[in-house]
């Protein structure tokens, strides 16, 4: 699966503080106050609090978040594109696909 360099550059090093699922969206919060919203295909993954993102890989509708502890969170997105958005704590958009 190919690395998503653009998203990796944005969220690598950020630590998850929580996650929630609602209305077909998974919202992952990071300890720096930023959030990543993922439009999902109805699945309700949960992200382990405390995990620090090392890299992001993406292919078709699979989005993998690789963590520094070696674990991976696989999220199935609603579409191959237009499903992920990251905003910083000031709500400024940092990434969209």
Partner 1 sequence: MRLFNRFVPLCGLVLALSSGGFAQRQGSALILPDRNLTPGDTLDVTKDDICVPGYTKKVRNVPKAVKDQVYASYGITHRTPGEYEVDHLISLELGGSNSIKNLWPESYKTTPWNAHVKDKLENRLHADVCSGKIELKTAQQQIATDWVAAYKRVFGDTGETVRGTTGHSSRRQPSDPPPDASGTDKVWVNTKSGKYFMPGARYYGKTKEGQYMTESEAKKQGYTPAKGQ
- Binder among 31, 32, 81, 89 for partner 1 (CB under 8 A): 81
Stretch 28-57: interaction string toward partner 1, x if CB under 8 A: -----------x------------------
Tokens of 4: 């998503």
b or e along 23-37 (b: 16 or more beta carbons within 10 Å of the residue's beta carbon)?
Answer: eeebebbbeeebbbe
- What residue has token string 């690395």? 3
Pick the binder of partner 1 from 12, 27, 55, 96 (CB under 8 A): 96
In the complex, which residues of this chain contact partner 1 (CB under 8 A)? 4, 6-7, 39, 60, 79-85, 92-97
């Amino acid at each position: 699966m190919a690395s998503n360099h653009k998203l990796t550059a944005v969220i690598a090093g950020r630590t998850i503080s929580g996650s929630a699922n609602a209305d077909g969206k998974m919202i992952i919060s990071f300890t720096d106050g930023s959030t990543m919203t993922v439009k999902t295909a109805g699945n309700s993954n949960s992200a382990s609090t405390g995990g620090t993102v090392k890299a992001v890989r993406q292919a078709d509708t699979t989005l993998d978040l690789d963590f520094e502890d070696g674990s991976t969170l696989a999220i199935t997105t609603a579409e191959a594109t237009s499903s992920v958005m990251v905003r910083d704590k000031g709500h400024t958009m940092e990434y969209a696909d």
